[in-house]
Copies of this chain bind each other. A is one copy, B any other.
Amino acid sequence: MTPIIRVTREFTFEMAHVLWNYDGPCKNVHGHSYRLFVTLSGLTLNDPENPKNGMVIDFTDLKRIVKKEIIDVFDHSITVSRDFEREKIRMFSEMFGKVVAVDYQPTCENLVTDFAIRLAHQLPPGIKLHSLKLYETANSFAEWFASDNE
């Protein structure tokens, strides 16, 4: 059997953020327990001699990549836009050990897009980044699909 299969692993990270200039309560610094689902697609390996026989990717490898590119960067951090209010960012950085300054408003939509860019070039040959799903709260999430952006 060598079908195309999609494989997904869920990750979590605990992050504060702030939406400067927003006209709702998210303009305050607050935080979320984010849940990230990373979905890859590829052919299932059919080679009994290979330890990875029957796999699209070893879940251990997927975990290592996402941990390095995303979780280690954003977990237990505060993520803010560097586009404006540079003085605040400087104060943030002095006061907090881990401020992630990004080039965009850190909404759920923009975060999931940034994550897609960070992961796209880290995957082994033949494996495609299919989609990402990012829960910001227990009942709201954003999704990036490769097929929507090709």
Contact = CB atoms under 8 A, between A and B. Distances in A.
Given A28-B97, A48-B83, A109-B56, A114 B3 contact: no
B106 A54 contact: yes
A143 B5 contact: yes
Interface in A8-26: 8-12, 14-19, 21-26
B95 A91 contact: yes
B78 A29 contact: yes
Interface residues of A, number: 80
B77 A30 contact: yes
Given A56-B109, A107-B55, A141-B8, A77 B114 contact: no
A137 interface: yes
Given A88-B95, A109-B44, A149 B29 contact: no
A49 to B, nearest CB: 8
Contact of A5 (B14, B53, B109): B109
Interface string A26-57: 11111111010001010010101101111110
A31 B59 contact: no
Interface string A137-150: 11111111100110
A4 B105 contact: no
Contacts of A143: 5-8, 39
7 contacts: A7-B141, A19-B54, A22-B53, A28-B97, A29-B96, A30-B98, A48-B84
